[in-house]
Amino acid sequence: MTHQLAAESPTIALPTTKPAVDASLQIISDYLSEEGFRPKIDDSGSVGFKCEGWKLYLDAYDSGGGFRLYCCVYWELDPTERMKALAVANSINSERRCVKAAVNEKNTVWLTYETHCADEYARALGTVAECLVSACREYREEYRRESQPVTLN
């Protein structure tokens, strides 16, 4: 574990511990660096990197059984837009495999790509990132689309 100094008072500094980085995430981070991305491992142990202008995050399940790649599509939408955000999330969920759209209690929209295949995940990461980014774009396009009134007759 690495130690950093945290100030308890202006004159005393005590060491604070950072969580250990999952070894498989370190391997994936190294792979991303080799592929030209600039990944950063944050204090929570997640790997963050940009792909086609989108900030993606990657973390491992505690059980060691896979990974989750995720991206925020919208931060704190207006509460009046919640029903529309949920409808678009349902549409994405029904059309896409492996990608899951969720609207949380703060009306923030997250898209995730989850897998339980921990082995050889680094090789598929580029494809997975492209899949997630295209789903994010699709979500935004569908969310921005205005519904047209239907004229009967």
How confident is the model over 10-55, as pLDDT tens digits? 555 555 444 555 677 888 888 888 888 899 988 888 899 998 889 9
What's the chain's average pLDDT?
A: 81
Q: Would you place residue 72 in the very low, low, confident or very high pLDDT band (cuts 50, 70, 90)?
A: very high
Q: Cβ-count burial of 129 within 10 angstroms (0-12 exposed, 13-18 middle, 19+ buried)? A: buried
pLDDT given at position 117: 64
pLDDT in the model for residue 1: 47
In a domain, 110, yes or no: yes
CATH code (residue 59):
3.30.1460.10
> How far is CA 104 from its chain centroid?
14
Q: Is the pLDDT of residue 136 over 70?
A: yes
Instruction: Answer whether residue 33 is part of any domain.
Output: yes
| pLDDT at residue number 21 | 58
61 lies in a domain? yes
Residue range(s) defining the domain that contains residue 119: 16-144
